Amino acid sequence: MCGIIGFTGSSPAVPLLLDGLERLEYRGYDSAGVAVISAEKGLQIQKCKGRLSALRERLDSLPPLEGTTGMGHTRWATHGEPNDVNSHPHVSQNGQVAIVHNGIIENYAEIKEFLLHEGVRFRSDTDSEVVAQLLDYYFTAGSDPLDAVYRVLERLEGAYALGILCADQPDMLIAARKDAPLLLGYGQGENFIASDATAIIAHTRTVAYMEDGEVAVLTPDGIAVYDEYRRPVEKQRHTIDWDVSAAEKGGYAHFMFKEIMEQPDALRHTVSPRLRDGEVVFDELALTEEKLRSFQRIYIVACGSSYHVGMLGKYNLERFLRLPVEVCLASEFRYSGPLVDERSLVIVISQSGETLDSMAALREARSRGGYILAIVNVVGSSIARESDDVLYTWAGPEIAVATTKAYSTQLALLTMLGLWMGKALGRLDGAEYAAVTAELAALPGKLETVLSSAGAYQYLASLYFNRDCVFFIGRNLDYALGLEGSLKLKEISYIHSESYAAGELKHGTISLIEPGTLVVALATYGPLIDKAVSNIVEVKARGAEVVALTTESHRERMAELADHLLVIPDSHPALQPNLGVVPLQLFAYYIALQRGCDIDKPKNLAKSVTVE
Ligand code: AGP
């Protein structure tokens, strides 16, 4: 996934583009580049491998690029290794056009072969360059810019968010999108494109979200938008309501730590408006009781941490609803011939709302008649806009690649959805409903209690940051929670770890446990605490070092067993993971810190994976 920003107005473009790219670096950071255009100097490009700082250094060492129209790109490589030539913008061989691209052109090889046959000389190994060269081909054949753009888009297959500059149009920027996010920003005498609002919120809060197939032509005076048939489109404008500071570190060392600490507020913003007098209320849902009663099966479809939310949700929803809940990795679901029909509720969970696998799974489920309900953090994102219903996690922008507050709010919202459905279907015992909703309201305060001892995890990390493998074990909700604890550790500290259903250890994995092996034993799910104890004894007998995560009511019992204890407040079993995940986030964070890892931008990762 890559970051795009574009601008046309009366201010020098480069400083504005670089500031925007800095806010987009979480989307990909293996190379970056800018292109500006002016009547006097035409198209001017600078781009290079490495972080944005490398591009800044390059620009500082050269005469300034002059122009008040331009675009920038920060890359997460898919085709073509990270290097100067493969970075964006790409310029056509005749220098008539420059493009930046997010997505994958799936038929780029065929187009490249055609152009090579036409004598075009390519510079890079990327798929994206074919767009620049094909545009140039049509320009040379006499097409005007918009004609050329539509002719190129007709031939492209795959996903694209495009910024396009034409050398002979110094006040114009063209944008196009299909299956990759791109929004329009409306300013006073200036206009923008961006992959997400964080890049331009310092300049405008008025945005519109481009739809698949649309083309936008931006000048300082306005933005004209056309649909795939080149018919003018009047775009609905939205106002971004969170402030710039929400997308800044605010004095924290890392966005990830900031977002861990923001979890109580993120939960308040997500839960409180939907919890009135002890009742879960979803004003935003279109789902009717009649439709709700028609569901025979629930699918939860997601990737990564969002999938882990689904794994936890399965336990709660099946207990609340007495309906089968199938949790599927989106990348598997989309190719598995899912048995979805009009009696299926398909819950798609995604922080970014742009994950391509989840988007494709949504479309597969819709094509089979499923009712799509999305749980998404980014307002107006693709998954949100293609669903029948959307529940937004109001966690605010999440910048760190490793999700924390979005995960927590997704989890709370999914539990709330289970409560709401259980009550509507008359399948949830009133006492349990009241007990869980009461604990929901108490969650933010209890989270603050956990966060107040964040420093204790620093000591624990100092003991274990040099390990090369860690096991997470747990049962029921603790097993599902361990999946997230393991992923957090892997993705930011690069320590290999495994998460196992504790009852499964004896079926093979326990052969890996030897003296000194670090095992994080999750023992927060009260109904199976005795089983958790026996699993701890089991690994201790083989010499494991055990860090146990448990609740206040089991503190003493666990203290006798474990080498180290992480204790969280007691809550309702269904909500315990919302508290239990925080120590696991902090454990991973401080270990990664001790290891000197790039916590907000882990190697090889990006915040939203908009490629297969
Ligand atoms: C989580 O820390 C990871 N960054 C990753 O697993 C992420 O959860 C996954 O890519 C899904 O992203 P989404 O929620 O935006 O769809």
Single residue among 406, 434, 451 that ends a domain in this structure? 451
Q: Which residues contact 8 (CB under 8 A, 6 or more apart)?
A: 68, 69, 70, 171, 172, 173, 190, 191, 218, 219, 220
Residue 270 placed within a domain: yes
Of 531, 490, 537, 489, residue with least CA distance to 510? 537
In contact, 531 and 475? CB cutoff 8 Å: yes
Q: What is the model's pLDDT at position 1?
A: 66
Residue 122 lies in a domain: no
Pocket of ligand 1 contains residue 401 by CB under 6 Å: yes
- The reply to whether ligand 1 has any atom less than 6 angstroms from the CB of 483 is no
Clarify whether 490 is annotated catalytic: no
Q: 402 CB under 6 A from ligand 1? A: yes
Give one DSSP letter per residue of 278-325, joined into a string.
Answer: TEE--TT----HHHHHH--EEEEEE-HHHHHHHHHHHHHHHHHH-S-E
As given in the structure block, the two tokens for residue 399 are: 């910048």
Q: State whether the beta carbon of 581 lies less than 6 angstroms from ligand 1.
A: no
The string of pLDDT tens digits covering residues 189-229 is 999 999 989 899 999 999 999 999 999 999 999 999 999 99
Q: Are residues 460 and 548 in the same domain?
A: yes
* Final residue of a structural domain among 217, 244, 271: 244
Among 259, 357, 403, the mutation site with the greatest number of ligand 1 atoms within 8 A of its Cβ is 403
Q: Are residues 484 and 339 in the same domain?
A: no
Q: Is 191 in the pocket of ligand 1 (CB under 6 A)?
A: no
461 shares a domain with 564: yes
pLDDT at 148: 96
Residue nearest to atom 10 of ligand 1 (CA): 304
**Is 377 touching ligand 1 by the criterion CB < 6 Å?**
no
Residue closest via CA to ligand 1's atom 4 equals 402
Residues 6+ apart with CB under 8 A from 147: 138
Helix (H, G, I), strand (E, B) or coil at 107: coil
CATH number of the domain encompassing residue 196 = 3.60.20.10
Between strands 297-302 and 344-350, the pairing is: parallel
Return d(Cα 54, Cα 282) in angstroms, integer. Answer: 47
The rounded Å distance from CA 306 to ligand 1 centre is 6
Say if ligand 1 is within 6 A of residue 410 CB. Answer: no
In a domain, 111, yes or no: no
**Separation between Cα atoms, residue 432 and residue 35, nearest integer Å:** 59
pLDDT at 23: 87
Tell me, yes or no, whether 611 lies in a domain: no
Tell me what pLDDT residue 267 has.
95
For the CA of 358, the closest atom of ligand 1 is 16
List, for residues 502-550, the tens digit of each pLDDT value: 999 989 889 999 999 999 999 999 999 999 999 999 999 999 999 999 9
Q: Is residue 41 part of a domain?
A: yes
Q: What pLDDT score was predicted for residue 158?
A: 87
Give the range of the structural domain holding residue 279, as residue numbers without chain letter. 254-451
Asked if residue 363 and residue 274 are part of one domain, the reply reads yes
Residue 282 contacts residue 420 (beta carbons within 8 Å): yes
Q: Is residue 278 part of a domain?
A: yes
For residue 406, how far is its CA from the centre of ligand 1 (angstroms)? 10
Q: Give residue 605's pLDDT.
A: 82
Looking at residue 161, its pLDDT comes to 95
Q: Can 597 be counted among the known catalytic residues? A: no
Q: 581 C-alpha to center of ligand 1: Å?
A: 15
The domain boundary residue, chosen from 451, 477, 497: 451
Q: Rounded distance, CA 446 to CA 510, Å?
A: 35
pLDDT at 312: 98
Q: How far is CA 589 from CA 257, 401, 443, 450, in A?
A: 7, 12, 22, 15
Q: What angle do CA 386, 387, 390 make, to 5 degrees?
A: 125
pLDDT(359) > 90: yes
pLDDT at 417: 98
- Residues 6 or more apart whose CB falls under 8 angstroms from that of 192 comprise 5, 6, 7, 184, 185, 186, 199, 200, 203, 204, 218
Whether the CB of 134 sits within 6 Å of ligand 1: no
Instruction: Indicate whether 459 and 439 sit together in one domain.
Output: no
200 with 309, same domain: the answer is: no
Residue 241: the pLDDT is 85
Tell me which of 76 and 274 has the higher pLDDT.
274
Q: Are residues 586 and 514 in the same domain?
A: yes
| Mean pLDDT computed over every residue of the chain | 94
Task: Measure 608 CA to ligand 1 centroid, in angstroms.
Answer: 6
Give me the number of domains the chain comprises.
3
Ligand 1 pocket residue status of 381, Cβ below 6 Å: no
Mean pLDDT calculated for residue range 142-157? 95
Residues 299 and 329 in one domain: yes
User: Which residue has its alpha carbon closest to ligand 1 atom 6?
Assistant: 304
Lowest mean pLDDT among 64-68, 281-285, 393-397, 422-426: 393-397
Q: Does the C-beta of 355 come closer than 6 Å to ligand 1?
A: yes
We report the CATH number of the domain holding residue 442 as 3.40.50.10490
Per-residue pLDDT, averaged over 563-585, amounts to 97
Question: For residues 482 and 612, is the Cβ–Cβ distance under 8 A?
Answer: no
456-509: pLDDT as tens digits? 888 999 999 999 999 999 999 999 999 999 999 999 999 999 999 999 998 988
**Same domain? 423 vs 512:** no
Expressed in percent and rounded to 5, the helix, strand and coil fractions of the chain are: 40, 25, 35
Q: Please give the distance, rounded to the nearest whole angstrom, from the Cα atom of residue 410 to the centre of ligand 1.
A: 12
Catalytic residue among 2, 48, 328, 597: 2
Contact of 370 with 386, CB cutoff 8 Å: no
| Helix, strand or coil, per DSSP, at residue 192 | strand
- At residue 129, does pLDDT exceed 90? yes
Residue 213 CB neighbour total at 10 angstroms? 14
Q: Give percent of the chain above pLDDT 90.
A: 85
Residue of 47, 178, 235, 607 marked catalytic: 607
Segment 99-125, tens digit of pLDDT: 999 988 989 999 999 999 999 999 999
Report the separation in Å between the CA atom of 352 and the middle of ligand 1, taken as the mean of its atom positions: 8
Q: Looking at residue 293, what is its pLDDT?
A: 96
Do 478 and 537 fall within a single domain? yes
| Model confidence pLDDT, tens digit, residues 301-341 | 999 999 999 999 999 999 999 999 999 999 999 999 999 99
Task: Using the atom order of ligand 1, give the atom closest to the CA of residue 607.
Answer: 4
CB-ligand 1 contact for 610 (6 Å cutoff): no
Q: What's the pLDDT at 30?
A: 84
pLDDT of the residue at 136: 96
**444 with 467, same domain?**
no
Residue 74 lies in a domain: yes
Q: What is the mean pLDDT of residues 71-92?
A: 88
Residue 181 CA, distance from chain mean position: 12
Ligand 1 nearest-atom number relative to CA 355: 16
Mutate to test the pocket of ligand 1, among 306, 375, 393, 404 (most ligand atoms within 8 A of CB): 306
Confidence of residue 72 (pLDDT cuts 50, 70, 90): very high
Per-residue DSSP letter, 261: H
Q: Are residues 513 and 383 in the same domain?
A: no
> Domain for residue 95, yes or no?
no
